[in-house]
A and B are shown apart, each in its own frame.
Chain A
Amino acid sequence: MKAIRLVGVSINAIFKHKMRAFLIILAIVVGIATLTVIVALTQGMNKQIIERIQNFGPDAIVVHSGGGKIRGPSTAAEASITRKDISDIENIEGVKLVTSFQVALDMAIKYGNKFTTSWVWGVESNWKDAWRRGASKGEFITDSDNEQLSKVCVIGQTAAKELFGDANPIRENILIENVSFHVVGILEKRGLSPVGTDFDNLVVIPFTTASRRLMNQPLYISTARVIVYNPTDLEPVAKRIKEVLRENHHLAAIEEDDFRLSTPGEISEMVKSTSKTLKLFLWLVAVISPLVGGIVLMNIMLMAVSERKREIGLRRAVGAKKKHIVVQFLAESIMFTFTGGIIGVGAGIVIAFLINLSGKPISITWQPFAIAFLFSTFIGLFFGIYPAKKAAMLDPASALSQK
């Protein structure tokens, strides 16, 4: 009951000093809004990374020909993987399926007088199972296409848009590096890769056609995608693939790999490391700005204490204990920061949505609310305790005699 009366005193004081309340709350709102926006943005970034990794496939290992640290798919020109490598990988325990494909980057594609460049992948029919991505319209590449070295293609939606606009590309013929291909289907949409390239700017053709007619690479395979039964087996399977390939390629212990493996874990590490510095900076801003709000609070509260000395003296004279004065001023601080926290989260969410309109990913979850409430209460306590103690420690007799 007494606590309620004391909090009532604080509420009255807030309403009696509206300008002061406005300034403190504004400072806290700015701080908490910044925090909320940054939480929403970094969580949006994380969500995007996770989505892209989902695009890549959480149960997939990609085996690239050629060593080194270069990222992205290997092209047919650096192909070093053999048919035997693929069948050995298929026999590794835990492997569900392996699909081989030839990759050529930035091939010239023409339709009538329209021209674009796109990735061209030579694929086997099980490519669609390995990527969980087939034709959204028309047919996909079949085994018989591969046997007959058919000149058919399935076109990705970005490439289709470039060449055909809104018209239906199926049953049209396009030229890939001046070789004519018959469009039999449109690929399902997939979006961006983990490193941000467009997975829809792609034309797929039969593996054999790519190897012999387009890329002149009949013996080797540029890339293979390995799907495991259980995502937890990824690391041991990747290790085993490495051993098998090194043995098949007769690599001595001192020689480097002439292939590369990409796993979802490795990709997420790579993506995360590039955004690490930015995130660190953002978090720094996120933490500092509410602290600045706290300093403003402390400043104004200290001023309030010295302005209200006479009031404090009077309250002490009519029976307020030191702890009552502490409670009064601390409750004022916490109410300021709490109100600022609530408004700040609201403002932050609005700002985050505005940023989202410009295309940046955001994610609004319960965390910004929890963080804002905890942080603002903490700031109220931390920065409010000193002015409150100072008010309580005033000598009542001299406080009363203040003019």
Chain B
Amino acid sequence: MIEFKDVTKSFQSGSIRTDVLNGLTFKVEKGEFAAIMAPSGTGKTTLLNILGCLMKVSSGSYLFEGIDIETLNDDNLSEIRNKEIGFVFQTFNLLERTSALDNVLLPLIYANTYPADAKQRAIQLLESVGLEERIYYKPSELSGGQQQKVAIARALINDPSIILADEPTGNLDSESSKEVMNIFKTLHRQGRMIVVVTHDINIARNAGRIIFLKEGKVEKTEVLA
């Protein structure tokens, strides 16, 4: 379970202070598929960075499985990102000139234990997203949709408790978008917690619940399923 309690985040640039989050409070339960709807330029990226333990809050607290993130040091946060969080980015963020397989294996380099069947597992994950023919392809040889599928396989390699997706279909055509969202739905059915941050209501509608943000606060919540 993840929980935001009255979270604020502001940035100081010279004498100008920008408040991005203004007392944000919400919860996402284990196994839930939640979408956070926020128009562009309203702190979506900031929220995602905080959710992904890449950034700390200015005030309030962010509880990750009951642990207050503020109490953790940089190494602890790296471990949480490694073990508990699977990132899926709008721009895929695959390593160039590196095969799909090696991209999927990337998080394991930093894991404390390297499973003996790592390669097997990575191949299985690539198969599960329909890339069994593209295992040794490099990102430049893959379509956008295929790259995003590699990124999803990478997010799953460490069997994380949460998949965190930032506009996962933002750079995809409608066909690929549908495929990617179907993968998320399947993962959700398998019991995984998924949080998708998006400005696209059609994408958000794939989730079980939509949290609408406005001016850095929760405006309303809509339960779909």
Q: How many A-B residue pairs have CB under 8 A?
A: 68
Task: List residues of A whose CB falls within 8 A of some B CB.
Answer: 1-2, 5-6, 8-9, 12, 16, 310-311, 314-324, 396-397, 400-401
The answer to whether A318 touches B106 (Cβ under 8 A) is yes
B182 within 8 A of A: no
A-contacting residues, B94-113, CB 8 Å:
95-98, 106-112
The answer to whether A16 touches B49 (Cβ under 8 A) is no
A-contacting residues, B71-108, CB 8 Å:
74-75, 78-79, 81-83, 87, 89, 93, 95-98, 106-108
Question: In the complex, how many angstroms separate the beta carbon of B161 from the nearest chain A beta carbon?
Answer: 14
Q: How far is the CA of A30 from the CA of B93 in the complex (A)?
A: 38
B154 within 8 A of A: yes
Question: In the complex, how many angstroms separate the beta carbon of A370 from the nearest chain B beta carbon?
Answer: 34
Task: List residues of B whose CB falls within 8 A of some A CB.
Answer: 45, 49, 52, 54-55, 74-75, 78-79, 81-83, 87, 89, 93, 95-98, 106-112, 114, 154, 158
Indicate which residue in B78, B96, B98 contacts A320 across the interface (CB closer than 8 Å). B78
Nearest-CB residue, chain B, relative to A310? B93
- When distances are taken between beta carbons in the complex, the residues of chain B under 8 Å from A318 are 81-82, 87, 106-107, 110, 154
14 pairs of residues in contact across A and B, judged by CB atoms under 8 Å: A5-B109, A9-B109, A16-B96, A310-B93, A315-B110, A318-B81, A318-B82, A318-B107, A318-B154, A319-B83, A319-B158, A321-B110, A397-B54, A400-B54
Indicate which residue in B93, B107, B109 contacts A400 across the interface (CB closer than 8 Å). B93
The answer to whether A397 touches B55 (Cβ under 8 A) is yes
Question: In the complex, how many angstroms separate the beta carbon of A304 from the nearest chain B beta carbon?
Answer: 14
Question: In the complex, how many angstroms separate the beta carbon of B28 from the nearest chain A beta carbon?
Answer: 19
The answer to whether A319 touches B114 (Cβ under 8 A) is no
Q: How far is the CA of A319 from the CA of B160 in the complex (A)?
A: 12
The answer to whether A317 touches B109 (Cβ under 8 A) is no
The answer to whether A311 touches B78 (Cβ under 8 A) is no
- When distances are taken between beta carbons in the complex, the residues of chain A under 8 Å from B74 are 321-322
A-B contact sample (18 more), CB < 8 A, given A315-B106, A324-B109: A2-B110, A6-B109, A16-B96, A310-B93, A315-B110, A317-B54, A317-B81, A317-B87, A318-B106, A319-B79, A319-B158, A320-B109, A321-B75, A322-B74, A397-B49, A397-B54, A397-B55, A401-B45
- When distances are taken between beta carbons in the complex, the residues of chain A under 8 Å from B106 are 314-315, 318
- When distances are taken between beta carbons in the complex, the residues of chain A under 8 Å from B52 are 317
Question: In the complex, how many angstroms separate the beta carbon of A8 from the nearest chain B beta carbon?
Answer: 8
- When distances are taken between beta carbons in the complex, the residues of chain B under 8 Å from A315 are 106, 110
- When distances are taken between beta carbons in the complex, the residues of chain A under 8 Å from B110 are 2, 315, 318-321, 324
Question: In the complex, how many angstroms separate the beta carbon of A359 from the nearest chain B beta carbon?
Answer: 51
Q: How far is the CA of A368 from the CA of B110 in the complex (A)?
A: 38
The answer to whether B93 touches A316 (Cβ under 8 A) is no
